[in-house]
Structure formats: structure tokens, C-alpha cells
Structure 1
């Protein structure tokens, strides 16, 4: 039985149409700081020049069995013209290019009169580069291929939305009782749902009342739960007349606009956009869902055996006894560390194993097995150090750790954060600053820590002044000990110090503004690194296993003759040394692998960077495990559970970019591999249709 396929469409393949545009050097324009190609040629084959036989050789056919005619049904197909996924449209398929295209993208005239914008002719453009920097004014999605734009009104639409008539009116009774009508002009009006006048996305208005809403705000959830508050939050169109500050960004709120507030009548509210950003909200709509009892803060980590005796889940084969701070049998000189947080034992009660040297701070022994934390939108579960000894590169403080870690249990594959960062409260009182500090999510911005001056994307902020504290500085122990001083050392900061102090360990000057440890009894001072070490959360005695059978042994630096570091050629000064199975010794974990060298070129082999994926933030990877881009893409797809081949638009929804030393965002694969691993600072896995240009300044 023969199958009668429909005849080929008399249209030019979009890839060849835009390629022909580029080869003929059609006009380029700039919108903002980005260059675009103006598409002026027709999409009809009959309009092509006779000599353009290549254009005529690519046959487009309708995809009869794969059309998404109903919203939410069927499998979304990637369009290689506008580089996005859309429902509610049909597709063409090119047998020669093996690519799919939206019908609207194939049949896109150079000049288009949108039914919703009849006064403003729209010109067809194509991005000259693959990084998305604009959003569709209708649906709010980013695009990086074909799009229509009106320079006069600053209006941008993807071809599918430009052809839609149905988006002129929307009925959503959960959002508003009346029909909402598309407002075709960009205007400085304020959305009643999010309290923003951002006109990058279009507005809808009610003709019967004065209700105004962004298209992207129409479908916001009604009831949600975020880790910043213990109760559910429900959407309200206004708040009681009080002085409100947002529970996420800490900025003042206007009570006359929409927000999320506590369902239990707590005086707690959050901006609509702050509450629903992906770093805060888990994406679950809880309206009509039964309210579960939150048990995340009462899941104990140990079983009480007797008076002051417990069996801890991380050390279940032995019992542990509570040792009081004033116990005369307790002798800690600063060398012993808590097995959970890896910080020294000097003050407070501890639980000590009755048969071995396993010790936990009382506070760490009481860490909940299951909890919510402000550092992640999903529930976290406490995990002890794995049997095969490994380490964690925490995505918040950037420190390596051999201690306990919290892992996401709800959809983020292998998301880990160390227990110190995960346990930071929403409000932190820190000795470095007189005001309380808050974790404030402000996407796309980098801030410099007021103590160490390092630029960070995640910081604790003071809402009363401009003080900023990074996670690394926030986690430093306030009190500790040194083996050559019998007294407690206190972490001290002097903001207005004019003279340096002298470190008793390295015999170099200290900068009091960056903090130092001081003995109030003896009057001596120390560098923070000289007391805690360069990698304070790594433990001597651990052996770390790596690829090719190589290992790193963490050795206490207690010998009279300190070894020379293979990298800096100086005597190792810190508490721990790193010795590889090849016999080489290094001062710090960071020196174990220089950039730009493969395993065959170097005696060392570790260089970690953070890989981020929407919904699964903060996976640390060692780029030098890979020999090229294909291996890196394959492993990232495996780590994050990405179906299909990463960066292949036919099989995957995701694309890769990286941030270099100058905070430029570059597509992964544009540079030679060696140059890439010398420049990369972080890697981002972003939807192909929504890659944003981020300011990292």
C-alpha cells in the first residue's frame, strides 16, 4: 500500500533563506547593543532567482502527525528558525536539513502587519549571534532566531505570537472575573499583580474595571510554599494598610498591589515576583491540595539511649556521650574537629564517641535529617561523609569540605550544600556588623563582600546600610583555639583601622579590615588562614579518590621539616598538606591542578567550577576530568538528567554557556578546549529559547 504524502510546500527552507541573507550582506541594524540581520527576501520559492537552485532543492513537508494544535497536548518540537518551543501551532520539516520549523516561521514575510498591531508594520530580523537578549512582548519568552520588531515602538514578537489573533482576549477566572484584553502599546502602567511597571512583556487590561496585568502574571499560582516561611502563602490583590517589607528582597512593599501573604495570619508578605522566582519557589501550585504537616524541623538525627548517651545515624555502630563544656576530662587543643561541620572544637558541649575519636558539636548532632533552607527551594536531607571518602565543593561559600552535606530530595539531581551554609538562618546577627543580615535574592547581580572584597552572586545583605557579607566570611567560627596559645581566640574586625598588625604564625602583617583572630589575654593576632588553614573544612587523614587511579592523601603538617610545595616551591605553612599518589606535595587543594593542563601534562588534577541548571542550581564539576566538549556535554546531561544530546536542538531543550574571567557570557564550544578551561569561571545550562544576557558586573 502506497502512502500519498502531501506535495512539498512552495516555500524556501528558513535555514537557507537566512543563510542566503547573510551571504548577500543584507543590512544589519542594532537594537540596544546587539546586532541583527534584516530579512528582506521572500519566503516563496517562486520569488527566488533562477540561479538559486539550492533553494529549490530543499523540500518542506507538513508534519501531519506531530502538530501541537491544542495547548498542552502532544510533544513540543524545537523550531530551528526562531529557536524556541511552542504549543498551539503546526510544523514543516525539511528533508535535506533534517530540521523542523513552525508554520509561522516558514511563512514569515519580510514586512508583517500583526492583527493586534495594525498601525505598526513589523520588520523581520534574525539574531547575528546565538545568545538571547530580547523577550517576546506577547508571551515573555526569550528568543534567539527569527523575530519581528518595530523600531518606532520598541515592540518585539516571535513569528508565532505575531500571527496569533486569540491572544487579543484571555478568560482566566482565577485571575480576574472579567475578560482581559490585550493592550497593544507599550505604556508606563503598573501591573496589579506584581506591582511592576516593566513593559518588556505586554499588558492585558479589563475594559469593565481598571485592572491591569502582565501576560506573564496571569498564570501565577494562587497558593505556594517557600523556604523563607513555615506556612503557606496565598495570593492577595492587596494587603492591610501597614508598613510591609518583602520577606525575600527586604524592600518596601506597596499594599495596594498584589502580593503573597501568610495563610495563618502571620505578618509576613512577599512580592509576587520575588515569591515565584526559581531560586525561591519550587514550582508547585498548592491550591486545593491538602495541607501537609511540616515535619522538616523535627526529624531527629539520633536516638536517645540513656542519660546523655545517644546513637547518631552517622555513627550508628557506636554510642556517643554528651561531654559538657566544663567537664574536667575534656581536653581539646584546637586540633580536633567536628565531623559534621569540620570546624575546630573549642567551646560548647560536644558528643564524643565512647569507643573512638568521632566527635560532633552538640548543635551539629541536633541537625534535622530533613529540612527546608533559604539556600534552596526544595527539601534537603542530611547526608554524612560517604563511605568512599569524597569531598564537596559548596556552591554557596565555594569551600571544599569533607564533612556532612545536605542533598536535595525533590528533583535536583545531586544538588549538595555543606551543613554550615544550609543551616544559616534567614536573619543572621554577625559580630562583624551591628545590624542583622539577610540572604537577599537579586538575580543577575554580583556584589563585593565588605570583609574580603571578593565578588559574589549570593551574599548576606544589611537592609539599613550597604554592608555585604559573603557566605565564606559568614561561616568563619567566631571563637577558636591555636595549639600554641592556651586562651580562646576571637574573630575581630576593624572597619576603620589605619595600622596593620603582626601575625604570630607567618610573621607577616595583617589587614584588620579583612578580619583576624586575636587573643585578648596575650594581645597577639593571627591571620584567619594561618589559624584555620586555606581549606578549613578539609580533614587530615582523608584519602580522596580520583580518576586514572590517582589519589590525594590529606596529611597533617606537623613534621619538624616541612616539605616543599610542588607548585609554589615554598615550605607548606598550613595545617594540612595534599600528597598525590605520584609522591608530590601541595600546600592547598587549589594548587593541586593548574589551569590549562591535562592529566598527561601535570602532576595534579583538580579544578572545580560550578555548573547551574534551572531547577537544579549549583553542581560542582572538575572540568579537567574531560578531554573535550563532547565528553563534558555528555556528563552534564547525565548529571542533570537531561534527555537527548545536550545542545542538540532536535533532541534537547537545553544549551550551554559559560562565564569567563571578565564576566562575559560565551557559548560553550566557540573557543578551543584549552582556551576554554583557562577562561571558564562557571557553566550555565539554560533553555535554548531563553538564554539571557546577564550582567555580572
Structure 2
């Protein structure tokens, strides 16, 4: 049951609907990349309220912080309900660390003082104005209200309980944070909870998380379901603890700074992206931090040989030495890896060779079976075609990289200590990389709530190679400085179409070239197809035909219909490079159908 304070300003009926719509429910898209621990401890110089996740500005001296709202306070304040006077209150610096005449709290560096002669009435910023902050527990701005300790016994939406005086993790603060339209109330104790704790009940550090709230999760200490909005959880285990169960007894836990926990690698299951280049195995990168792989190697009808050096593989079409791709994840092979002397097209990363037959911990939380497709099918997670290994159950079909993505990641394109957590695909959030709405395996920042990204976009390597540039291309994740309007348009050097530099792309500063992500062959929609595994025998040609990308046969004519190849870059064809022969994929199936009809007519 919510308790309304004995303050006129807290009457919800007096909240301006226009103010509620325009301020409470407008998401601030400015990023706050401050460390969450610093956000809890560092106070705004004007209002003395913690910075939290609120966009802020540094003070002129550079030694302090100001909320974005507090950095632009009006000169005068008309607080006639608190100080009936004809004179307005004037903003002045608080040089003497004076107390507020209304709430008796020490004012910040700024206060509002009556201009009337002989009147010493003064207010701090939170009493003079409605201050709104951002906190990672809620999507909207929270209004700061001052209250007495006796009044602060409402049900907090973070922990789901009423609070009693004397909680130990922060000093007592006569404040409450409220989102009126949502009915969201946050106690100052829960607003400043430690972000990481080491608890005596679990072997791994526990991270503070908001938004789990599920009847399928039970508190490991009290056994009751996790129905509150906030919870401490383990990034590796399905281990959840109520906030109050975790921190009420001071001797049962120890606070850990996020920066120290990340730097020491003390948080298992937390995977950092991006990987260095396209030769880095994503499966190996994920499984070294998560207990996903099995100790049993995949069964094959022939003995598999383990290699510790890079392989050399010669493509017949261009006589260029290229590494082969893994049959499980279709990434370039890197050591250590397995091969089969009897099956020259079989290659497996060491981590891919130990994929579990049943994957129980995955983004959709249902057991998935490992399948070797053999044929080209579309995945349900990222809508890409593949003929490699997938994890499947009923209508769900996930490639191995999407299926193995962890629940929590960090990314170099965002704040160092901000954890990105797996997000429901129905969230109407735009991906920071490609601009598309979140779908499939996706992540949102649990701290500032202003960074969202697809799982496939998060896996983009920091550098890639492209045939059009002699240097490694670097992933560009930040828009360039503002340019003159006439120089805004840039073009992709692969497809020669316009490139939006506000989206992530690859570029070479030395050659001044830029490329769409989808114009890099090892990252596009056909990057999960292992082409050399798809061969067909056609009566129109005596040699087996291998599936290839259309750009490899551009300038030729189809051996069946005699037409050229004008397909999109994501199109395919069948080719025999030994004989310089190729046909459309559609012509291959048409030829087979016509041959069957011809045989039937001859009967």
C-alpha cells in the first residue's frame, strides 16, 4: 500500500498532465557513460542529489558535476506557497553552506534566497524547483521529493518492500524518487545499492539487475519467487537473490567496485566485444567465459586430426591462398582446429568440435538440439541462410553463434563498466549499429538505457580484410565530427551506394575508403553458407557444379538460358571454375524439372 506524504506537492492529482507527458515519459537520448558506482556516489553540485544515470555536465572548475537540468536553472523562483512574499527568490551561490529554511537540509552550491530586506528565507534547489533525474531502474524521469523518515515507509518498486530506518549500505537520506504516471516509487537506499556484491551464499559475484521479474525465478535464500523489479543475479548461473535477502545483513556480503571486478576478471560469463578480427572464433571467445562446451568431441566416421597452425587452402577460382571455414560456425578456421584426412572439406574449431548435443542455457531458455543441416535453411534468430550446424527445437532454428550468446556482455563502443543485458525481441528500440528495431538475440544497456544492439551487430569484429583495400578495415562506431552540408554524402567503395556515417561501418583512414557492413563478404547475409559443401551434378555439364556468390561469375553467361548475372550481391549461382562454366540457381532446378518431364514423355 502506497503512503502519501503530508506535502501538498505530492498530491498526484496536481501533477500537470502536459508535464507528465512531456517530461516524465520522454526518454532522454543523451548518454551518461559515467561508472555506475560513481553515479551512485557523486552528487550534483546544485541539488545535492546523486548523478545516477542522469545526463550531466562538468562544473566550470571541472571538479564537480551538475545534472543537465541543474546546469540551466532559472534566475528567479516564485515559491509563494512556501514563502508568501511579494519578492521572488533569487538564485545565489551558497558560499556559507547554509541550510534550507523549508526542509532544514544543507543546500548545495546553489540556493534561492529572498530579496526582501532583512529576510533570510532561502530554499535549496529541490524545494525551489521540481528536479527530475534518470535512474537505471526505470525508463522515465523520476521526480525528487523530500520527505521525513517516518513518511518513507512506502512499498519501493525496486525491492518490493517497505523500508525501515537503519539500513546500512548508504547514509539515511530524506528523499524519494517517483514516476507519477507509472506509479513507480524508488527509495534512496535502493537507488544507491552496490552494483556488485560478493555474497556468502554463492561462489560468483552477483550483479544488480533490474527487470527480471518472473514467476519462474526463485530467490536462492528465501525460496520465494522474484516478483520485485530489482534482483541480484549471477551472470553464469541461474542464481537470483532478492535485494533485501542479499543486503539486509551486513556481514553476509561485501561490496565490489565494478571497475575492479571487470579489471580482475572476477565476473564469469560476462563476454566482451568486439573480437579483434574475422579470424577470431566467436564460439571460442564466448565459451572460454561460459561453461557451454562439452568435454566430449563430436563423433565423426573418420578420425579427426588436431592442428595448432593456420591451414593453407587454395581456392580453384582465383588461385589465392585462403583459410577454409568451419563446418559448424562458418567462420574462418584458426588454430587449434580439427580436420579429417578422408573428408577434405571438413574443418572444425576445437570449441565447435565440443558443442553440446543439447544446449540448455541459451537466449530463448528452452533446450535446443544440435543439428548438422547439410541443406541450406533460414535461421529464426537472425533470418540468414546457412547449411552449417544449428541448434533446433520445433520451429526454432538458431545458428551456433546466436544460440551461444550469453545473457550479459560489454562492448567497447559503449561505456566500459556498463553491462548490456539480453533483451526481449518485442522492445521498440533501435539498434545502435544498424538502426533496425531489436529482434532475435538483442541487448540493452542496464545502466543508462540509451544503448541497444542486435547480437549479430555486437559480434562484428574490430577489423576485417576486404579485397578492395590493402589494409585492415576498422569498425567505425561513432559518427565523425560535424561537416559542412555539401560534404555530408559519402559512398561505399564496394557497392558505390550512399553510406550513412551515423551507422556503424568499416573504413580505412589511410586510403579514405568506407564500406557498408553488409558489403563485407564474411559478414553479409550469405556469410553463414559454406559454399564448397553445396555441389550438384547437372546433365548440362559433365563436372560437378559448386555453389558460389554471383559476383564471382559476373560478366559470364548462364550455360542454360544464355543470360547474364544481374542479381543482387546476396544472390548465388552454380559454377565450375575448371571449365569456366556457370548457371543460374533457378536454371539448375528448371533443367531438372524439364529433364524429368522429358523422361516421362518418352515412356
Q: Answer whether TM exceeds 0.5 for this pair.
A: no
Which structure has greater strand proportion?
1
The alignment's TM-score, normalised by the length of structure 2, stands at: 0.41
